[in-house]
Amino acid sequence: MGLFESLASAAPELFTIKTMLLMMVGTMAGLIAGAIPGFTIAMAVVLVLPFTFSMTPVEGLATMIAVYVGGLSGGLMSGILTGIPGTPSSVATTFDGYPMARGGKPGLALGIGVWASFFGGVIASIVLMVVAPQLAMIGLEFQPVDYFSLILFALTVTASMAGDQILKGLMAALFGLLIATVGSDVVFGQPRFTFGIDSVAQGFAFLPVLVGLFAFSRLLGDVRTSEKAHQRLGGNEAHAVHIDYLGAAREVISRWGNILRSSLIGVFVGVLPAAGSTISNILAYDQAKKTSKESDKFGTGAVDGIIAPESANNATAGGALIVMMALGLPGDIMTAIMLGALLIHDVIPSPSFISDEPQIAYSIFLAFFVANFMMLFLQSFTLRGFVLITKVKMYMLAAVILFYCSVGIFALNNITYDMWTLFIFGIIGFVLRALGFPIVPMVLGVVLGGIAEARLSQVFARSDDIMVFISRPWSLFFLLLGCFSLVFPFYQKNIGKMSWTRFFVPALLLVQAVPVFMMPGIARPAVAILMAVTGALMILYRLQNTTNPVAGEPKQSSD
Amino acid sequence: MSLNRDAFVAVFFLFLCAVMFTASTNLPPAMFGQMSPALWPRIILVPLALLSALLLIQSQRHPVETERKTFSEWLQYNKNPFFCFLLFFLFLVTMPIAGMLLGGLAYVFLTLNVLGGWKPSQLGLHAAISAVFVIGMWAIFTQLLGVLLPEGEILRVY
């Protein structure tokens, strides 16, 4: 089935009154969650999850995607009006949005943010519809060993995001994998690490673990002292304004190059495991500043400085969905929760998912597209209400959400065991966060642990030869990428200071050319030759410029 | 050896690895040419132990400067999370008796007071928040979504 036939078959599933209403409510919930500083989008998606149990897969997924899209856009409101980003994905929006609002143009700043979010989301949904089925076709080439290596790569990337704390990031990822081994093994169903407690034989469902590690540690960290607990979420500066839609639309459309570039950066970052909108908005802002003719105006209320982060963060959601839909692997917390929602409805994403379940798959694509229009519509007249919500005190939110998390988790399987899991992993998450461990690698370790073990068992069922890990091109590709991602934090830290950093990128090209060359067909070996030649030329060029340690490297932004 | 925060964490993880590795020896061997149930956990435990040892060495060579706190200062600093966990624990323990509705009301009300204060003017607000959100949530789940939440012995009708 072609793209348009698939979309036509999915449309009746999605465009029902009930689904549209649910998506409206979801977008509204996401906007509210995004508008509240400190309240992450992941938390909003977690809170919505229990409501989707009684829905059909399309209704449930469409609602969660609406929350996701709403949340990504909601962050701009508090960021622009108060200078406090509603979510980490709106950090860069405050750099120019807040100065523009303070400069007497809050309506224009909000309008630009809303339109940029809209265009970013729409571009990403088009890329999603076109790229995801193609990536899924590549995914069909994957054998268990390739999947296993891909999971290892995802975990190393997640750990490397911890920067200086990469050691703790790796330990957190391994600890997450270890947690996933408790219960019963995936091959024989033998009880494992139960230590005599019968109920532990059922293992830990990953959603209670995820919510415990993530929500508890986050919320309790926010109310640690009385002063923090009594803080109003959005400060006292938030004030309602009217959005200047027409003026903003003119400004945004006239800068279409920035929108396109930032959206594509967003999609690309979203495809990378664990990268997410927290990184894409800053990366897009940096690129917009470097390429702008008015780079000196950045930080004082530049229009491009609002467009870039807002279009990038919305586009990132599309990138993350591409990988989840095409390969069945979650790259971040949001897609991990969505994967959980799909599994609850007995829908198992895999490379054949898009071709086997085109109605559900294309309904999800369409839902992402439609949610952006809903976001635009709802932003236009609900802003005043959102600003009022940011006046709520942190402790009130924490108490209610903790209760709500427990109800939602109980509703998963109707057993109190899950609530105890939530409680225990809440403590573990809080303690580990306090000790400087990143939570995201651990969460992904828990989510991917079972899949990794299943794939590894399939590898060993076929052969005892461990050389298969390096003789399969895709496996070697991901393992080598994983090695480079482990070195990446040191590269990032020493770029321009140590001479070896000049050879990091060319070495990456040269090394990765080997597995790409091993791939079948003509196109990929040709790309491999191009990569090898480029890498070799870069090395030669940089060796000739040994007097300047940073020759050939892009100039780093001083921000 | 200086016992700083990272050293404590590293020792804990080394101990955990030792316990889990020992427990993995009790798992059955591989059968029918399949992977042994102990193999995957061991693949995880070996690098985890190595990284923990590395963290231990790092903690001795470059100890992280953390603010020294007495036990009472530490308890004061973590008072809010500690009480939140304690209240959540009591909420779970009393679940068979109080159920989700009464237990939830008590839990949210007490958490709000512990975090927000016990002034008489606040008590009314906290009671209202508890009532609206707990009863509202309970009603949505039981009446709208058809989820059978634990009713507890107090409210059990039959």
> Can you give A308-321 as a three-state secondary structure string?
HHHHHHHHHHHHHH
Q: What is the pLDDT of residue A387?
A: 60
Structure tokens at A509: 């090209």
- Rounded CA-CA distance B67/A223 in Å is 20
Pair (A449, A512) in one structural domain: no
Kindly state whether residues A125 and A189 are assigned to the same domain: yes
Q: In this complex, do B88 and A423 lie within 8 Å of one another by their Cβ atoms?
A: yes
Residues A124 and A167 both lie in one domain: yes
Do A132 and A185 share a domain, yes or no?
Answer: yes
Q: Mind telling me how many Å the CA of A66 is from chain B's nearest CA?
A: 20
- pLDDT at residue A240 in the model: 57
**Does any domain span residue A462?**
no
Q: Give domain status of residue A232, yes or no.
A: no
Spatial distance between the Cα atoms of A442 and A142, rounded to a whole number of angstroms:
25
CA distance, residue B12 to nearest chain A CA (Å):
12
A-contacting residues of B 65-104, CB under 8 Å? 77-78, 80-81, 84-85, 88-89, 91-92, 95, 100, 104
Helix or strand holding residue A52 (H, E): none
- What range defines the domain where residue A523 resides? 468-544
Q: Which of A364-373, B97-106, B148-157 has the highest mean pLDDT?
A: B97-106
What's the pLDDT at A58? Answer: 87
* Residue of chain B nearest A461, judged by CA positions: B34
DSSP string of A369-411, one letter each residue = HHHHHHHHHHHHHHHHHHHHHTTSBHHHHHHHHHHHHHHHHHH
| Chain B nearest C-alpha distance from A221 (Å) | 8
The whole-number average pLDDT for the span B105-122 is 91
Do A401 and A292 lie in a common domain? yes
Residues A420 and A297 in one domain: yes
Comparing B1 with A299, the larger pLDDT belongs to A299
Q: Are residues A196 and A101 in the same domain?
A: yes
CA distances from A152 to A10, A378, A515 (A): 34, 41, 17
Both A117 and A213 in one domain: the answer is yes
Same domain, A292 and A175: yes
Q: Give the list of residues 6+ apart from residue A253 with CB closer than 8 angstroms, or none.
A: none
Q: Is B23 in Cβ contact with A195 (below 8 Å)?
A: yes
- pTM score, whole prediction: 0.77
Taking the domains of chain B in order of start, what are their residue ranges? 5-66, 74-155
* A551 in any annotated domain: no
Q: What is the pLDDT of residue A436?
A: 85
Q: Please, which residues 77-136 of chain A have a Cβ atom closer than 8 Å to chain B?
A: none
Non-local CB neighbours of A69 within 8 Å, separated by 6+ positions: A27, A30, A121, A314, A317, A368, A371, A372, A374, A375
Domain boundary among A433, A456, A479: A456
- Give me the pLDDT at residue A406, please: 87
Please give the ipTM for the structure prediction: 0.92
- Asked whether residue A549 is domain-assigned, the answer is no
- Give the per-residue pLDDT at B13: 95
Which positions in chain A touch B128 (Cβ < 8 Å)?
A: none
Distance (Å) of CA A165 to CA A34, A168, A205, A402, B58: 28, 5, 28, 29, 12
Say whether both A37 and A154 belong to one domain: yes
Tell me, what's the pLDDT at A42?
A: 77
Q: Would residue A272 count as lying in a domain? A: yes
- Taking the Cβ of residue A393 and every Cβ of chain B, the question of whether any pair is shorter than 8 Å is answered with yes
| Chain A residues near residue B112 by CB distance under 8 angstroms | 395-396, 399
Domains of chain A: total: 2
According to DSSP, the residues that pair with A221 across neighbouring strands are none
Q: Does B51 touch chain A (CB under 8 A)?
A: yes
CB of A117 closer than 8 Å to CB of A79: no
Boundary-marking domain end, from A436, A456, A476: A456
Give me the residue from B27, B51, B134 closest to A403, CB to CB: B134
pLDDT by residue, tens only, chain A of 559 residues: 677 788 888 888 889 999 999 999 999 888 887 776 656 677 788 778 888 877 888 888 899 889 988 887 777 776 777 666 666 677 788 888 888 887 778 788 888 988 898 899 889 888 888 887 877 777 778 888 988 888 888 788 777 767 678 889 899 999 999 999 998 888 778 888 888 888 888 888 877 888 888 778 777 877 887 777 777 655 555 555 667 778 888 888 898 899 999 998 888 878 776 566 667 887 788 888 878 888 788 888 889 999 998 898 888 888 888 878 777 777 677 788 888 777 777 777 777 777 788 888 888 888 988 998 898 888 777 766 666 666 678 788 888 888 888 888 888 788 889 999 999 999 999 999 888 888 878 887 887 888 889 889 888 888 778 888 999 999 999 899 889 888 888 887 888 888 888 889 999 999 999 999 998 888 889 999 999 999 999 999 988 876 555 444 444 443 3
The pLDDT, as a whole number, for residue A553 is: 47
Q: Do A483 and A429 reside in the same domain of the chain?
A: no
Contact present, A204 and A425 (Cβ < 8 Å): yes
Per-residue pLDDT at B53 exceeds 90: yes
Q: Which of A401, A423, A456 is the last residue of a domain?
A: A456
Same domain, A380 and A473: no
User: Could you tell me if residue A491 is inside a domain?
Assistant: yes
| CB of A265 less than 8 A from some CB of B | no
